[in-house]
Structure 1
């Protein structure tokens, strides 16, 4: 046995066995090679993804105005999963239309790509687009304002409107520029608005039929300010009684002497410095108080007032007292007036008797002189 172990053949055989074991250990997949295997499998899995990509133009856009093409198109790519994911995230390729050699007019052009990895397959939707190539033109237009005045609260009016900037630059095909009838902003005022409108509003280029013209506006919005207010004026009030008062008269009193009236300019201009406020006393008694609604009392002369109502105290004054105070001759005579009349009549009678007696005496004297 010792001879066998110590022989060269034994060591040669042992070396061969070790070499074979190492060979099979390395070539056989184990736990340490699991990750490499997974990575290899991942790189061979295919994936499909669809996403939107901006469409670029290859053309002299300073000279020509081009319409009809979409801003973005959809592209579907398919290939190794990692490569598809990277392509979708980075979008490091281009989709474009080559228009350099095309003349003015309409053309059907194929969308092309540049920069996609050769390991990927792709499809573009749409594949073709129809573009319209026209000579480019630029003009400036003043901005008009168009709004509904019926949205204003009753009695309110607008002042001088402001637009900033007052003009915009319009760029487009010469044929489209020629269609423009006006450039306008159409602010939408809230119903019943009472305060100044102050907002950014979209600008529109319209033809004579009111339809939008296909052009580019710079800026696309402008600042619009529409002052909204109501006119007012301070006036004094005159309380006037109305209604059937029989034989009674009344005095009307109120702590409110002046009010402020509001309305349109034409309404305020037509109002004097004082206004009559009628007070119905047909069913009133001495000392009654009534609240008079000024809007009802003034009718459509104004829109509203401040205050909106006044409190009126009604005091009764008898007609006899009023007649005596004013010396109305139709109101009848008092007792003192009757006594004075009697005294005057008596005095007149005495004077008449004295005149008769004197006449008799004078007659007697005349007879004596005759004898």
Structure 2
């Protein structure tokens, strides 16, 4: 029994000791917990600030009014608890705006406002006020003109028909501004010495009578511009002609009958429907096939298609035949002339003979007369 009591006393002592330790720990623990909570509270109440660039929204009847003068965005600096500032920066679940609903047409200075920021945050906006111009809205469609420098084209090249896509744009703005528009134009900048087609998107501009840009909105803002650039050309037939002095005659043959010639428009206008292609035969003595580079022999064009042609040169005997015929004709003519001369000579000779005979007869007659006279003289004696 006594042992049980002793053992029981040890047990209760042990229990008491454990209770004392637990009580000590329990009493000490709230102090540690309180310090941690205090640190967390201190951290959550540290302030910070940040600056954001946000779009400036317009509250107005934009269907009937056209508003200008305000910036597209403003800067807002927010300050407050670090966690809240960070969350606001990440979400940007607030608006910065101008309320123009109750303003009439004209120019106004309007305060920039915000909505949606947490009440624990403070803020400042730059600019805090902006000047806006409110005018009656007008929309009008304009055809697009093209204005570019033709001096950029390479020598001899010209521009073809320009194509635009789209060919018209919609212009929206204050009625007074739209009224100022003289033309809507694109001004493509062509590279110097360009020889190939220009094909790019080009910014559209609305210009007044002085060539200054009018403050309006264009839809679309760019137009696709295509300017075909090439050298003028036309198709002509070719005449193969002889070049060079020689004792022979030649004939020329080629499978190519027509070519396309390229040059300035003035050059092409000076050429008819056909063009002479000279073939140099200075050193040709037998039938020959030559490749003729057309741009080398044609001085009045810049280029040709094809660039060269094959020509067969054949030597003909027309001059030899002509010489033979001429000689034959000359021989015949000489024979005829000789015969004529012989006939003439014979006739002349016959005449001379007759003249001699007559002369002889006359002489004889004279002699006979003289004889008779002598006889008579003798008789008288």
Q: TM-score, normalised by structure 1?
A: 0.73
What whole-Å deviation, never above 9, does each CA across 1:148-184 have from its counterpart, x for those lacking one? 2333344443343333433322111122112111111
Question: C-alpha displacement at 1:128, in angstroms?
Answer: 2.0
Q: How far apart are residue 16 of structure 1 and its match?
A: 5.7
1:188 is the counterpart of 2:189: yes
How many Å separate the matches in 2 of 1:71 and 1:57?
10
Q: 1:104 corresponds to which residue?
A: 105
Shift of 1:223: 3.4
Q: Which runs of 5+ in 2 are unaligned?
A: 369-381
What RMSD over aligned residues (CA atoms) do the two structures have, in Å? 4.7
SS at match of 1:117: coil
Cα contact 1:233–1:268 (8 A) shared by 2: no
Structure 1 residue 139 displacement after superposition: 1.9
Residue matched to 1:209: 210
Q: Which residue of 1 aligns with 2:301?
A: 302
What is the Cα deviation at residue 113 of structure 1? 1.1
Please state if 1:137 is matched with 2:133.
no
Match of 1:20 in 2: 23
User: Shift of the alpha carbon at 1:346?
Assistant: 5.9
Q: Is the 8 A contact 2:96 2:112 kept in 1?
A: yes
**How far did residue 143 of structure 1 move?**
1.8
Q: Which has the larger radius of gyration?
A: 2
Q: Which segments of 5 or more consecutive residues in structure 1 lack a partner in the other structure? A: none
Q: Given that residues 295 and 308 in structure 1 are in contact (C-alpha distance below 8 angstroms), is that contact kept between their aligned partners in structure 2?
A: yes
* 1:79-122 deviation per Cα after TM superposition (whole angstroms, max 9, x unaligned): 33322222112110011112223332222222111111122222
Q: How does 1:191-340 map to 2 (within 5 A)?
A: 191-229=192-230, 230-239=232-241, 241=243, 258=257, 259-277=259-277, 294-295=294-295, 297-299=297-299, 301-308=300-307, 324=323
What does the per-residue CA deviation read over 1:193-219, in whole Å, with 9 as the maximum and x for residues that have no partner?
Answer: 444444433221101111110001122
Which range moves more in the overlay, 192-201 or 288-297?
288-297
CA contact (8 A) 1:254 1:310 kept: no
- How many angstroms apart in 2 are the aligned matches of 1:10 and 1:168? 100
Q: Deviations over 1:22-70 (max 9, x none)?
A: 314532548xx98x88865653444332221010112222222111111
**337 and 143 in structure 1: CA distance in 2 versus 1, 3 angstrom threshold:** same
State the 1:362 CA deviation.
6.8
Q: Report if aligned partners of 1:74, 1:124 keep a CA contact under 8 Å in 2.
A: yes
Give 1:148-187 correspondences, 5 Å limit: 148-187=149-188
CA distance in 2, matches of 1:356, 1:41: 170
What residue in structure 2 maps to residue 69 of structure 1?
Answer: 70
Paired with 1:44 and 1:287, the residues of 2 have a C-alpha distance of 112
Determine the C-alpha separation between the residues in 1 that align with 2:266 and 2:208: 36
Aligned residues: 355
Deviation of 1:19 after TM superposition, in Å, equals 4.6
TM-score (norm 2): 0.72
Quote the offset at 1:266 in angstroms. 4.9
1:88 partner SS: helix
Deviation of 1:14 after TM superposition, in Å, equals 4.2
Q: Matched residue of 2:177: which SS?
A: helix
Shift of the alpha carbon at 1:297? 4.8
